[in-house]
Amino acid sequence: MASPPIECIFPIASPQKSELGSPAEFLSAALDPPSRANVSRAMSVLREIGALRPGDPATLAPLGLHLAALPVDVRLGKMLVFGAILGCLQPVVSSICARSSDEWF
């Protein structure tokens, strides 16, 4: 596994303390483990968008729990969650669809 998708961190991180250890420790036991740098980069992105609790990188924040349930990239998922909270979901969905599609022409 060259680069772990950010979404593979979600099943390892949990709302409470996990007996699986940190996501980096858990993923290092995989058959084809990602490099520590790639796991660190994925964790950094999750921390930046607020999906992980600030003091504990192996614990999901409330936003992370919602993002883990969405089958989209975490950045787009955050847009969906905040669009729903702010009552402007339709324009957000339109912009996400436009952004996630391939070339138009």
pLDDT tens by residue, 24-71 = 787 888 888 888 888 888 888 888 999 888 887 678 889 988 988 888
How many domains does the chain fold into?
A: 2
Position 85 scores a pLDDT of 94
pLDDT(3) > 50: no
Per-residue b or e along 34-58, where b marks 16 or more CB atoms closer than 10 Å to that residue's CB: beeebbeebbeebeebebbbeeebb
Are residues 76 and 34 part of one domain? no
Collect contacts of 18-25 with beta carbons under 8 A, ≥24 apart: 18/58, 18/59, 21/58, 22/57, 22/58, 23/57, 23/58
28 versus 19: the higher-pLDDT residue is 28
Are residues 103 and 77 part of one domain? yes
**Which residue matches tokens 């905040």?**
82
Domain range for 61: 1-69
Are residues 34 and 62 part of one domain? yes
